[in-house]
Amino acid sequence: GQQVMQIPQYQHVQEGEDFTTYCNSSTTLSNIQWYKQRPGGHPVFLIQLVKSGEVKKQKRLTFQFGEAKKNSSLHITATQTTDVGTYFCAGPAGAGSYQLTFGKGTKLSVIP
């Protein structure tokens, strides 16, 4: 079945440094979603990308969808302690599927 690979698994950064997590799919995705899970919390939807090459920004967060729609990235500029958590990408489990396949996530730690 469709797999979504995410790297790195863990990332420790100094506050103020940038952070990037990458997501790769074995198949072309119709769309990709990103979620954030704070420590002790539940996943919360951040954004959905649909178009090839799409770039969306949310304040210090920049999301990109690859031209081939098989990879995506999330970049955080000048990390803050509030950015701590695990970031998951997720794509449809298959063509026409409403089920999401989640990557294993990137756990971000920010050292103040």
Give the integer Cα–Cα distance in Å for 39 and 97: 29
In eight-state DSSP terms, residue 95 is T
Binding segment for another protein (CB under 8 A), chosen from 19-27, 51-59, 71-79, 95-103, is 95-103
The contacts found for 29-33 with CB under 8 angstroms, 24 or more apart, are 29/69, 29/70, 29/91, 29/92, 30/69, 30/91, 30/92, 30/95, 31/91, 31/92, 32/65, 32/69, 32/72, 32/89, 32/90, 32/91, 33/89, 33/90, 33/91, 33/100
**Of 28-47, which residues contact another protein (CB under 8 A)?**
30-31, 33, 41-45
Shortest Å distance, C-beta 45 to another protein: 5
Q: Does 100 bind another protein (CB under 8 A)?
A: yes
For another protein, the closer of residues 82 and 99 by Cβ is: 99
Using CB under 8 A as the binding rule, the residues of this chain from 44 to 83 that contact another protein are 44-45, 48, 50
For the CB of residue 48, give the shortest distance to another protein in the complex, in Å: 7
Write out the residues near another protein by the rule CB under 8 A: 30-31, 33, 41-45, 48, 50, 88, 91-93, 97-105, 107
